């Protein structure tokens, strides 16, 4: 029972990170129908930015944890958003109106570019991060197996929920969100009503990248290390989460992320650590056979 509870906590924590990244995939797919394969690497870039900022702050003598976290969060979000914007501007916008696979190939190229750039700039070795939020709450101390809820996990859950709430508000209630949804349904009509489609798409990438930055910082706080290749597997899992939750759906992305996180952690905990990824992807395949549009996805309506 205690063991189960511990796995549950770990699974939700891991899933929250996947969920935050998955929102970026889902929003971009929703608006231009493209899988942004460089998104995982944007996430990786954000972990590097957080690391660099941390070292910079520490060497400047700033060590108060709340201030450090806030500065890193704001700095990482801003700089990562800039990366997201630049990638869209350079690699995807010129290909808009080209055939469907062109931006996809460009995205894969962008992913390789970002990986190699970080590998060259920061080196290939794994980089460790000081534990900024140590400790946690211990439950069931008398039992054989005590359950730990780490403070970093609490921070992770809270952040995910707050960010999801803010983004849901933006998408459902603000003019920008309305424009995004309009572009999602009929991009040409949206532009005929005076919506600057290019700007709306850029902002979508900026939003996705900001979330990846939040996820990047959380990932770093939780696992304490990163390298130039960190974005690949996490990115694929987050993409899987977006598909599982129903691509195009914001709550679906988070739900999908948590589902993937739980599957992975439980499989690792009860069956085999080596095959946890196999389990996650197998379950994805099975779910998609029975629910082709994902958990919260709307069935695609054929345009007549």
Partner 1 sequence: MARQETILRVEHLSMKFGGLVAVDDLSFEAKKGDITAIIGPNGAGKTTVFNCITGFYKPTEGRIALVHGDDSILTRIDNVTATGKQWVRTRQGALFLLERLQDFKVSELARVARTFQNIRLFGGMTLLENLLIAQHNKLMRASGYTFGGLLGLGGYGKAERAAIDKARYWLDKTGLLDRADDAAASLPYGAQRRLEIARAMCSDPVLLCLDEPAAGLNAREGEELNELLLSIRKEHDVSILLIEHDMGVVMQISDRIVVLDYGRKIADGSPAAVRSDPKVIAAYLGVEEEETDEVAKELSA
Asked if residue 193 binds partner 1 (CB under 8 A), the reply is yes
Instruction: Centre a 10 Å sphere on the Cβ of residue 103 and count the other Cβ atoms it contains.
Output: 24
161 versus 166: smaller Cβ distance to partner 1: 166
Among candidate residues 237, 274, 270, the one with its CA nearest the CA of residue 256? 237
Pairing of strands 136-139, 147-150: antiparallel
> Helix count (H) and strand count (E) of the chain?
11, 4
SS3 124: coil
Q: Which residues, numbered 202-221, are part of the site for partner 1 (CB under 8 A)?
A: 203
Minimum distance from residue 101 beta carbon to partner 1 (Å): 24
Question: What's the gap between Cα 45 and its chain centre?
Answer: 12
Asked if residue 191 binds partner 1 (CB under 8 A), the reply is yes
Instruction: Centre a 10 Å sphere on the Cβ of residue 47 and count the other Cβ atoms it contains.
Output: 30
Minimum distance from residue 72 beta carbon to partner 1 (Å): 21
Contact 78, 214 (CB under 8 A): no
Contact 208, 24 (CB under 8 A): yes
174 versus 272: smaller Cβ distance to partner 1: 174
Minimum distance from residue 272 beta carbon to partner 1 (Å): 43
**Dihedral angle over CA of 255, 86, 206, 55, nearest 10:** 80
Asked if residue 302 binds partner 1 (CB under 8 A), the reply is no
187 versus 255: smaller Cβ distance to partner 1: 187
69 versus 203: smaller Cβ distance to partner 1: 203
Contact 242, 22 (CB under 8 A): yes
Among candidate residues 283, 246, 232, the one with its CA nearest the CA of residue 261? 283
- Euclidean distance between CA atoms 68 and 118, whole angstroms: 23
Minimum distance from residue 128 beta carbon to partner 1 (Å): 36
Q: How would you label 267-276 residue by residue, b for 16+ Cβ within 10 Å and e otherwise? A: bbbeeeeeeb
189 versus 286: smaller Cβ distance to partner 1: 189
Asked if residue 89 binds partner 1 (CB under 8 A), the reply is no
Q: Using CB under 8 A as the criterion, what x/- string covers residues 271-300 for binding partner 1?
A: ---------------------------x--
Which of 56, 124, 189, 278 forms a contact with partner 1 (CB under 8 A)? 189
Asked if residue 185 binds partner 1 (CB under 8 A), the reply is yes
Q: Using CB under 8 A as the criterion, what x/- string covers residues 142-171 for binding partner 1?
A: ------------------------x--xx-
Minimum distance from residue 184 beta carbon to partner 1 (Å): 8
Q: Which residues bind partner 1 (CB under 8 A)?
A: 166, 169-170, 174-176, 178-179, 181-182, 185-186, 188-197, 203, 298
């Amino acid at each position: 029972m205690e063991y189960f509870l511990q796995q549950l906590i770990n699974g939700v924590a891991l899933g929250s990170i996947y969920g935050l990244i998955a929102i970026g995939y889902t929003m971009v797919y929703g608006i231009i129908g493209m899988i942004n394969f460089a998104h995982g690497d944007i996430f990786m870039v954000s972990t590097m930015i957080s690391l660099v900022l941390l070292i910079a702050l520490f060497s400047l003598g700033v060590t108060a944890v709340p201030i450090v976290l806030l500065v890193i969060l704001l700095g990482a979000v801003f700089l990562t958003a800039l990366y997201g914007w630049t990638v869209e501007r350079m690699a995807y916008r010129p290909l808009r109106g080209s055939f469907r696979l062109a931006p996809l190939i460009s995205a894969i190229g962008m992913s390789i570019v970002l990986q190699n750039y970080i590998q060259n700039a920061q080196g290939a070795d794994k980089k460790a991060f000081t534990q900024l939020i140590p400790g946690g709450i211990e439950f069931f101390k008398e039992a054989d197996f005590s359950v730990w809820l780490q403070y970093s996990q609490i921070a992770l859950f809270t952040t995910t929920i707050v960010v999801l709430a803010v983004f849901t508000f933006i998408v459902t209630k603000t003019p920008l969100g309305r424009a995004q949804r309009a572009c999602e349904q009929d991009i040409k009509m949206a532009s005929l009503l005076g919506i600057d489609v290019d700007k709306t798409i850029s902002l979508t990438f900026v939003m996705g990248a900001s979330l990846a930055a939040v996820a990047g910082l959380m990932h770093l706080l939780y696992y304490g290390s990163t390298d130039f290749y960190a974005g690949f597997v996490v990115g694929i899992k987050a993409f899987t989460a977006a598909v599982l939750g129903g691509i195009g759906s914001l709550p679906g992305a988070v739900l999908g992320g948590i589902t993937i996180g739980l599957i992975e952690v439980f499989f690792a905990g009860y069956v085999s650590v080596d095959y946890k990824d196999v389990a996650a992807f197998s379950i994805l395949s099975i779910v998609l056979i029975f629910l082709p549009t994902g958990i919260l996805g709307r069935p695609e309506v054929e345009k007549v």
